[in-house]
Amino acid sequence: MTLSVVPIGARLLRRLPRPRRIGQLAVHRLYIFIVTYLLLVVSYIIRRPLGVSKNALSQNCSHLVPPGGRHMLDNNTEWCSWKPFDHDSSTKFAWLDFTYRLSYSIAMFLAGYIAERMDQRLFLSSALMFSGSWLIFSGIAYFADIHSYVYFVIGQVGAGVSQSTAWPSVVTLMGNWFGEKGRGLVFGFWCTSSSVGNILGIFIAAAFVNFAWGYSFVIPGLIACAAAIFAYFFIIVDPESIGIPDVNLNPDVELNEVVPIDANASTANLCESAELELSEEIIVEKKVIHHEPVHDRKPITIWGAILIPGVVEYSICLFFCKAVYYAFFFWLPVYIKANLEVGNEMAADISAAFDGGGLLGGIIAGGASDLIGGSATVCGVMLVVAIPVIFILEALKHGQGTVIFLLFLIGLLQNGPYSLITTAVSADLGTRPSLVGEQRSLSTVTAVIDAIGSLGSAFGPLIVGLLGPYGWHVVFYYLIAAQICSALCLSRLIYREWCIWVRHWVNA
């Protein structure tokens, strides 16, 4: 990569002083971790506005007097809401959520396919710019006094399509820079960005929801546009683009590290010592098995990604896991307001406990996966343990403190498997040479798993909205059933992991 196309971030990083004991790869890994973490926070901030704004768009008007003293003959208690949500709002919101998530999941297949064949820096910055623009489009409805339901549907379709493009790109960037060793824990910490983004998104949107809900969309949209500019100038796509060996094919090679070359090894399978020019001339001798440069490898097809062992099981598990997660994600403020009898802003703030638990869940799941070497077992245990907690939340009456604790616990147990499957598991399946050979597959595998999972996030909130008129207890029975299905999807992989452990213990 010539200096003219090296992003500003890489040039600045070269000029920063660093201890000689710290290799260039370690410095760049930390840099990529921080940059992608911030971008992922933004990508989750922009998902919160509609969920937070529901209580402002549709209100209980039974305690208010209609203007002019007129009598509401149809006993409509939503007459003071923002049209078209002044009647049958639950169903309309359910279809809006469904429209957003369905467009997100369908576009995700195409997003991974395109990302595998396009410069990741340009792809990610474009994704964030379009995401911010569509969010601003939805917020304009408030300032332009637009009351067309079709307008809101178009806004959700645009938001779903544009926001789907960011995820496979950032996971690919992390997978390019972090090898398999310790990947679970690294991705666990990295995935806390989703919970941080959700919490910040709640507070940003809630700050405006009571007096001008349009700003709940516009402000996050402007943040996303600013993040798009930041991404274009500061993303470094992969180690090879700046002369560092591919960490997935050469996991033990660190820049500034001299690795002795076996004199008896075939020279056809070894790369000769190379002079790498970063901010200084560094001579690195490295033992590297010969592979095609990552940019020259043939991209995998969508069907080829589906056929990789484990992709189908994890995808279907994520389908049900996301159905439950996004049911809470979109409907928690409504549930809390109805059951705790609090205001819009307080309901949004209390719902943040769910995301707070998610902060810890991703780290625990990633660390446990690295420790025991069994991602399916970790996911299965967390999914099963969450079932009685979900039951207790609805079955018993609680005060605010107990509800916050239970939501924190559910968030921890639900976000752990969600984060592990969409990051470390996807990266492992998409970069393991024994599975994918000489093909570029990380973006496509990530997109396939998340796209199938996102279909669950489309149908989950929709079913909640349709079941809402029958009572929250019916909704929670549905959530428990989906949780059971999610755990059962991993039964074959869990059995295989236990068989491997038993053979290891017997032979030890």
* Burial of 106 from C-beta contacts in 10 A (0-12 / 13-18 / 19+): middle
* Section 184-195 average pLDDT: 81
* Section 194-218 average pLDDT: 87
- pLDDT tens-digit readout, 404-435: 999 999 999 998 898 888 877 776 776 555 54
* Section 94-107 average pLDDT: 86
The Cα–Cα gap between 159 and 130 comes to: 8
Lowest average pLDDT, out of 90-94, 161-165, 426-430, 449-453, goes to 426-430
Q: Is the pLDDT of residue 267 over 50?
A: no
Instruction: Write down the pLDDT at residue 460.
Output: 86
Helices (H) and strands (E) in the chain, counts: 20, 4
Q: Is the pLDDT of residue 140 over 80?
A: yes
**Can you read off the two tokens belonging to residue 406?**
């239970």
Question: What are the distances in angstroms from CA 194 to CA 28, 363, 463?
Answer: 22, 12, 24
Specify whether the CB–CB gap between 302 and 113 falls below 8 A.
Answer: yes
Q: pLDDT band at 74, cuts 50/70/90?
A: low
Instruction: Write down the pLDDT at residue 95.
Output: 86
pTM for this one? 0.71
Specify whether the CB–CB gap between 96 and 156 falls below 8 A.
Answer: yes
- pLDDT tens-digit readout, 5-34: 667 767 776 777 766 666 777 888 888 899
Quickly tell me which residue has 């207890």 as its tokens: 473
Specify whether the CB–CB gap between 305 and 448 falls below 8 A.
Answer: yes
**Can you read off the two tokens belonging to residue 210?**
């009571």
Q: Is the pLDDT of residue 228 over 90?
A: yes
Which residue type, as a one-letter code, is found at position 394? E
* Section 170-182 average pLDDT: 77
* Burial of 181 from C-beta contacts in 10 A (0-12 / 13-18 / 19+): exposed
Instruction: Write down the pLDDT at residue 60.
Output: 66
Q: pLDDT band at 261, cuts 50/70/90?
A: very low
Beta strands 298-299 and 281-284 are unpaired
Spell out where 225-353 has E strands. 274-277, 281-284, 298-299
Q: What is the Cβ-side half-sphere exposure of residue 448, based on CA atoms within 13 angstroms?
A: 26
Q: Is the pLDDT of residue 455 over 80?
A: yes
Which of 36, 40, 428, 427 is closest to 236 using CA atoms?
36
Instruction: Write down the pLDDT at residue 168.
Output: 81
Instruction: Write down the pLDDT at residue 46.
Output: 92
Q: Is the pLDDT of residue 319 over 60?
A: yes
Angle, nearest 10°, between helix axes 183-190 and 24-45?
40
Strand partners, 274: 284
Lowest average pLDDT, out of 120-134, 220-234, 272-286, goes to 272-286
User: Residues near 85 by Cβ (< 8 Å), separated by ≥ 6?
Assistant: 57, 58, 78, 92, 93
Angle at 82 between CA 466 and CA 224, to 5 degrees: 85
Average pLDDT, the chain: 78
The Cα–Cα gap between 507 and 87 comes to: 67
Most confident of 389-403, 453-467, 473-487: 473-487
* Section 289-304 average pLDDT: 60
Give the residue with greater pLDDT, 506 vs 46.
Answer: 46
The Cα–Cα gap between 123 and 116 comes to: 10
Q: Is the pLDDT of residue 336 over 80?
A: yes
- pLDDT tens-digit readout, 346-375: 887 888 889 888 888 888 988 888 888 888
Specify whether the CB–CB gap between 152 and 138 falls below 8 A.
Answer: yes
Which of 241, 14, 25 is closest to 120 using CA atoms?
241
Q: pLDDT band at 224, cuts 50/70/90?
A: very high
Instruction: Write down the pLDDT at residue 410.
Output: 94
Instruction: Write down the pLDDT at residue 476.
Output: 93
Instruction: Write down the pLDDT at residue 297.
Output: 58
**Can you read off the two tokens belonging to residue 193?**
């960005």
Instruction: Write down the pLDDT at residue 481.
Output: 95
Specify whether the CB–CB gap between 189 and 136 falls below 8 A.
Answer: no
Q: Is the pLDDT of residue 39 over 90?
A: yes
> What is the CA 178 to chain-centroid distance, rounded?
18
Instruction: Write down the pLDDT at residue 265.
Output: 37
**Can you read off the two tokens belonging to residue 253?**
């090679």
Quickly tell me which residue has 């245990």 as its tokens: 381
* Section 464-482 average pLDDT: 89
> What is the CA 389 to chain-centroid distance, rounded?
24
Q: Is the pLDDT of residue 159 over 80?
A: yes
Specify whether the CB–CB gap between 2 and 191 falls below 8 A.
Answer: no
